Amino acid sequence: MVLTPLGDWCPDGTEQAATAAIEAFCDDLDEQAHAPLTYIRRAEHDHAGRFAFDVVFDGRSVSVLMPGLPLERVRYTGAAGQRISRFPRLYVDGG
């Protein structure tokens, strides 16, 4: 059994926080990708404090439901004191 606190629901989520998080996500991926990344907002797919974006790169697109939480509550870096079980799961292409 895998428990993911906040896995599906982010009741305090805001679009502003989700946008900051998707920008950081794209910046992180851009460092590893060999093509620029952009994102497109897809508000019609928002759900339970998560905000929908399509991340576009190299002619491909993936859907991301980004939690609308402050970046420090979304971005797990493995730093001392962080516990991955306290971070929401990121849904990419529905899973």
Mean pLDDT, rounded, for 77-92: 76
* Residue 4 clears pLDDT 50, i.e. is over it: no
User: pTM score > 0.85 for this model?
Assistant: no
Task: Kindly report, residue by residue over 29-67, the tens digit of the pLDDT.
Answer: 877 777 788 999 999 999 889 999 999 988 889 899 999
For 41, counting Cβ atoms within 10 Å of its Cβ (0-12 exposed, 13-18 middle, 19+ buried), the class is: middle
The predicted pLDDT at position 2 comes to 39
> How far is residue 8's CA from residue 14's CA, in Å, rounded to a whole number?
15
Q: Beta strands of the chain (E only): which ranges?
A: 37-41, 50-57, 60-67, 91-92
